[in-house]
Structure 1
Amino acid sequence: MHFALPPRKTSQPPPYLPRASRLPGLRRSRLKVIALAGLFFLTLIYLVSRPSRSRNAVPTPRVPKGNPPVVLVTVLDETKYSKAYLETVKENRMQYAEKHGYQTLLAKVGDYDLAGAPGSWTTVVAMRDALTKFPDCHYVWHLDASGFVMNPKLKIEEHIMKAAKLDELMKKDVPVVPPDSIIKTFSHLKGQDVDLVLTQDKEGLSAGSLIVRNGEWARFFLETWFGPLYRSYNFQKAEAHALEHIVQWHPTILSRMAIIDQRVINAYGKGGKEEEYKDGDLVIRFPECTAAGAQSCETQSQVFVQAWRRVFAST
């Protein structure tokens, strides 16, 4: 009887076949969830434990270096003033700026796109342009073309904008628009917190001579003033009445504004005791002067032009 022999083992092993995973699909999903949860908690721990200064960091505002200390801005309107008169205005601004290391921005009506607003709005855009062209200046001083700098010895940063000086000059708890505005200047405002300085006359706030401190607030103020709503609104005195409006209805602006005596930066050629120019004042203005005739700016200012030229030449 013959028995079947078992198959012989080959000397060549069969090809390798990978073993099937021992982890079922459900178990793999659970591991992924656990891994993601762990990553989440590690991230959370990092966010909670990192230094508070990093979490609450706020971009540091850019601090102007004061180069130049002041930019003197004047808008030249050739439809309102004669060319000879405007040449005198430019001479005055440039000589005063040169004495103190200031810069000037002498803009013309038509230099900027006012989006259909009257040409007098050039004032606001020119001040904004000054901040762009001179980002390191400390102050922008707008002086209307109806006036002249008369005392070259006085510096804006010392005569007006020094904190201690502003504490002496600013009028507190007075109606913003005289005589009976219910909105009044802040009684607790300190000179170091003032970013806008201007004066009043018998008509209200005067934008003919005002100073803005360079910074984020100044940009906010000028953007607000030049807002499309105010440009399109039919204010009787355009940007001047728009200024009165935003000052009274925007506490953010009122809280940074100081009103000072008119003669400090805005004396008039004619007026009452508190507003009429006296020798030694910084500025004289002729806000009601005309383009021609007996009341022209050129005629009214002639004596004072001769005076400032003598004074400038002697200093």
Structure 2
Amino acid sequence: MHFALPPRKTSRPPPYLPRTSHLPGLRRTRLKLIALGGLFFLALIYLITRSGGGSSRHGLPAARVPKGNPPVVIVTVLDSTKFSGTYLQTVKQNRLQYAEKHGYQTFLAKITDYDLEGSPFSWTMVVAMRDALTKFPDCHYVWFLDASSLIMNPKLKIEEHVMPSARLEELMRKDLPVVPPDSIIKTFSHLRGQDVDLVISQDKEGLSTSSFVVRNGEWARFFLETWFGPLYRSYNFQKAEVHALEHMVQWHPTILSRMAVIDQRTINSYAKGTTAEEYKDGDLVVGFPECVTVGPQECETRSKPFAQAWKRVFESV
């Protein structure tokens, strides 16, 4: 009689087979419900944060939207080494009266207010702009106006005369050399008014920082921080912050893509200049950019007839 022999053992173990789950059906159902509930909760949080303004489209905290209180902050830097005391009082009165009429605020800084770490005092304008945004986080616009200028037309408002998208579409000069006369870098031909955050003009020398407007927002803070960066301040530009700005605009599309160059007389007329620059009755501003090179009394002398005209106009409205 032959008996079946037991199977011979082998040195090769059978392949590992993972145990199959034997969870009860009820437990699997509960786990599915918990997972679905978790997904629903996460989706709900995502939708709330997106629609409620608490986050950006990338899930990061969204930028704070300014309420427009005040609509505009006028920033002017006062330098007693360049201007007489009488003239500076005229400038202060000019800014305060105009701001009061339109519900604006003024930010009148002195060149001694900030530690510029050895940089020329002209850089104060950039720090003052940044400081104004910190002090008035709900403003819509910050308008820098140099102390060598006077506001002449109290009827014109920045948020109407310059900044509306449709108005910017009319004013901006497209495909224009950034630094005249033949810079190969030109203003964007496809730029739309709604995308503009920096409004500035040119004179015969290049970009003019005597009068320019910045729209409050994250881009404005980025722009001012970049402009005041130690690299630009340490570089020996002939005209310090002005040439630094021109360099930024020509080499950084992030800046150029948000900048509109408009006709000079819209916000920056000169008392004397070419036909395109020279002040005419009804213009918003008149400037005396070269008076500081002569002496502190010169700006007072050149501005006197305009100051008298300004006071008469303001008293009549």
TM class by shorter chain equals 0.7 to 0.9
Mark the CA change 1:63 to 1:116 in structure 2 (over 3 Å): closer, same or farther: same
**SS where residue 296 of structure 1 aligns?**
helix
- Aligned-residue sequence identity (percent) comes to 73
Match of 1:51 among 26, 29, 43: 43
**SS where residue 210 of structure 2 aligns?**
strand
Q: Distance in 2 between matches of 1:311 and 1:135?
A: 32
Contact 2:82-2:296 within 8 A present in 1 as well: no
**SS where residue 264 of structure 1 aligns?**
helix
Q: Distance in 1 between matches of 2:248 and 2:34?
A: 47
**SS where residue 234 of structure 1 aligns?**
coil
Give the drift of 1:52: 8.5
Mark the CA change 1:277 to 1:57 in structure 2 (over 3 Å): closer, same or farther: same
Give the drift of 1:116: 1.1
Give 1:28-47 correspondences, 5 Å limit. none
Give 1:147-296 correspondences, 5 Å limit. 147-290=149-292, 296=298
Give the drift of 1:51: 2.1
Paired residue for 1:21?
Answer: none
**SS where residue 87 of structure 1 aligns?**
helix
Contact 1:81-1:291 within 8 A present in 2 as well: no
TM-score w.r.t. length of structure 2: 0.83
In structure 2, list runs of 5 or more residues that go unmatched. 1-18, 20-27, 48-57
Which has the larger Rg? 1
Contact 1:74-1:145 within 8 A present in 2 as well: yes
**SS where residue 290 of structure 1 aligns?**
helix
Q: Distance in 1 between matches of 2:225 and 2:38?
A: 37
TM-score w.r.t. length of structure 1: 0.83
Q: Distance in 1 between matches of 2:175 and 2:207?
A: 15
Give the drift of 1:46: 7.9
Write the deviation string for residues 63-111 of structure 1: whole angstroms up to 9, x where unpaired. 1000000000000001111111100000000000000000000000010
Match of 1:300 among 299, 302, 308: 302
**SS where residue 248 of structure 2 aligns?**
helix
Q: Distance in 1 between matches of 2:296 and 2:224?
A: 36
Paired residue for 1:79?
Answer: 81
Q: Distance in 2 between matches of 1:228 and 1:293?
A: 30
Give the drift of 1:61: 1.4
TM-align CA RMSD? 2.3
